Chains A and B, each alone.
Chain A
Amino acid sequence: QKEVEQDPGPLSVPEGAIVSLNCTYSNSAFQYFMWYRQYSRKGPELLMYTYSSGNKEDGRFTAQVDKSSKYISLFIRDSQPSDSATYLCAMSPNNAGNMLTFGGGTRLMVKP
């Protein structure tokens, strides 16, 4: 069993839909949680960074962490075709700068 599980998709939604992306994990030591967006043939771009449990909102993006369930989510409101990319969750036990463990990524396609 992988430490971080993420549905690979692809997830196809119409433009304007609310998108829910999720990761589950098994290591209870993880404290820092991140979401990265990766366009094809490009490096990952940091979208959201959260410490411990709770919600964090940034524009159309909301990150949720439920440590009791070992479950994290990224919500995208009013999805746009430009949101089409692979979304990677990542987590770390000590601080967000070291020992990142990545999920396999979910490929999202937003259709106009």
Chain B
Amino acid sequence: GAVVSQHPSRVICKSGTSVKIECRSLDFQATTMFWYRQFPKQSLMLMATSNEGSKATYEQGVEKDKFLINHASLTLSTLTVTSAHPEDSSFYICSARESGGQETQYFGPGTRLLVL
């Protein structure tokens, strides 16, 4: 089946630093990848949609200058949380849509970010 990986799985950083999270589709090509954020005991909230080779589309209320998304290849998208603050602590999950496939989204295992 379609496998999506994320790295790192967990990261702890100091306030003010930047953190990069990678999302990879391991056995398929993904023209579209999605970034979600999930707070404890809450559902996933879509942050942005990224298409390979073009700028990401951000959801309302998501700061594009704070959450930088790059989708440089058909198998890799990155989310960089710039100048992280404690309120950015959350579970970040990416998903990828298989090009020409069943059109469903396959999710990565998530990255837990803790900003001290």
Contacts and interface: CB of A to CB of B under 8 A. Distances in A.
Q: Indicate the member of A44, A45, A97, A100 with the most B CB atoms within 10 Å.
A: A97
Interface string B68-112: 000000000000000000000001010101100011111111101
A12 to B, nearest CB: 16
Contacts of A104: 42-43
A43 B46 contact: no
Interface in B31-48: 32, 34, 41-44, 46
Contacts of B106: 46
Contacts of B46: 100
Given A41-B91, A42-B110, A46-B106, A97 B43 contact: no
Classify chain A's interface size.
20 to 34
Interface residues of B, number: 25
B25 interface: no
B110 A88 contact: no
Given A41-B112, A42-B110, A97 B91 contact: no
B107 A45 contact: yes
A75 interface: no
Interface in A42-101: 42-46, 49, 88, 95-98, 100
B104 A46 contact: yes
B107 A44 contact: yes
A102 interface: yes
B42 to A, nearest CB: 7
A102 B112 contact: no
Nearest to B98: A97
B76 to A, nearest CB: 17
Give the top 3 A-B pairs by smallest Cβ distance, nearest first. Answer: A97-B103, A97-B97, A43-B107
A36 B38 CA distance: 15
B103 A95 contact: yes
